[in-house]
Amino acid sequence: MNILVYGIEWDTEGETREECELPEQILVLDVAQPTADEDMEENLGERISEAFGFTHYAFSWEEFSKVLKTHAGGGHYPKNLAVI
């Protein structure tokens, strides 16, 4: 499944998100369902921290379906979106 991570509170050690060139939102592709011993939020947190080299305080997430987020011209993707 694909997951949209948004509302990310990055730990930038006093720098702005823009200065660190960090996205506002991240589309994480091909996320496996967590096993009984795993947690989806923890798995996503590790994945985005590894991808961008910054830790975070918090974020929100939801399953992303391009079909549900479309308009007449085709698929819609949020502004300032990174894909990993």
Task: Give the global pTM.
Answer: 0.78
Question: Digits of tens for pLDDT over the chain (84 positions)?
Answer: 889 999 999 999 999 999 999 999 999 988 888 777 778 999 999 999 999 999 999 999 998 876 555 555 555 566 667 777
**Encoded tokens for 62:** 């939801």
Distant-in-sequence, close-in-space partners of 52: CB < 8 Å, separation ≥ 6:
22, 23, 82
Structure tokens at 48: 């985005």
